[in-house]
Amino acid sequence: MKRLLEQLSGKDLRSIGNSNAIVKQVRSQDQFDKLFECLFHHDRLIVMRAADGIEKITRKGQTFLYSHKRSVVELLNTAENKELKWHLALITPRLQLTETESDEVWMILKRWASDTSESRIVRVNSIQSLFNLSEHSPARKDDLDRMMAQLEKEDVPSIKARIRKLAMMKGNVKTTTSKKYLSDLSSDRANVKYPAAKKLIAIAEKNPRRLYPYLNQLVQLLKSENNILRWMAIDIVGYVSCLDKERRADESVRSLIDFLQAGKLIAANHAIDALSHIALTKPEWRERITNELLKCETFKFETDECHNVVMGKVVQALGVYLKPPDFDARILKFLRRQTRNTRSATRKKAEKMLRSLGQETRTHTPRING
């Protein structure tokens, strides 16, 4: 933590300092949690840079944020400095909000957007976030339209520019919707099918809500005979299942576990990533998923080297959703066994994780598999 604070310090509020370097360093939930703690630091400069890093990290995937939902909402209520406000405005739509929380957030962002004493960046970012939140709510779209009509009268160039941009986005007839991409997956043409798969993965990462209505269809794709589509479905199901509140994802979790036991490297690696996302947001599945990930050590894969690659993936996955107190004796034993893995990358991952947990790391002679 001391080193992180040092990286976030220095210079003044006009500079983001080492924020971009920290973004590249954060690879696990525990590392993200330490960065998130900095939002409550007494130094305004550290708070700003931590917020900048968190906003950048969560652009591509929001899973690290899920356990901090309540804290973000509380910060929205208490934030005073404009740098924190404008970052919070961008971060908030990435949360999985309940209807009550969504109402609370909506009122705060409306207040920020309408307050002429607020920073223009805070106001513009708040308008953008309100637009994102209104995407699936006709009532909120009407509310937002009324607010933007009032804001346009202020004749503030940056606000008018953002409103024009959002108006263009609303007016565009989007032929490339999620539904169309899903339809394109059944095309016989590779130049239609595979770009659609990439688009769907990008949607699942940034806005899984758009794909949640199609969860059952995506689960069926886990049985596809096309490897690429099956791997795509594994990734997307991992992101979208995190939103499930109706236990529709139970079948998908069991299917993902089956991919571990099948002993195929690429499918197993995709499944491990997907299961780690689910374990992060679904505590009721955490123990089962951990048990299944640890069992991978006993499964046979195409080659010994494939087995070693999977072990490295399991080490990474455990770091995504487990906090230090969750690393019990059996997990620590697993990590210590991987410090003797014949694959250098896997060995280093295990050693790094043990060090982060304050565990002694000894240098071992690599263990020969078999």
Which domain CATH number covers 205?
A: 1.25.10.10
* 147 plus 224 within the same structural domain: no
- CB distance 58 to 91 below 8 Å: yes
Q: Which of 227, 223, 296 is nearest to 257 (CA)?
A: 296
* 145 plus 232 within the same structural domain: no
* 166 plus 287 within the same structural domain: no
Domain end call among 171, 205, 234: 171
Q: What is the pTM of this model?
A: 0.62
In the numeric block, the tokens 């550290």 are attached to 46
The amino acid at residue 38 is C
State the pLDDT at residue 274: 93
> pLDDT tens digit string along 75-112?
999 999 999 999 999 999 888 788 888 899 999 999 99
Give the domain range for residue 36.
2-171
Domain annotation covers residue 364: no
* 129 plus 223 within the same structural domain: no
* 238 plus 333 within the same structural domain: yes
Using the predicted structure, report yes or no on whether residue 172 has a pLDDT greater than 80. Answer: no
* 140 plus 218 within the same structural domain: no
> pLDDT tens digit string along 120-137?
999 999 999 999 888 767
Domain end call among 115, 138, 171: 171
* 78 plus 155 within the same structural domain: yes
| Rounded CA separation 47/81 (Å) | 10
- Integer-rounded Cα radius of gyration of the chain: 23
In the numeric block, the tokens 């637009």 are attached to 131
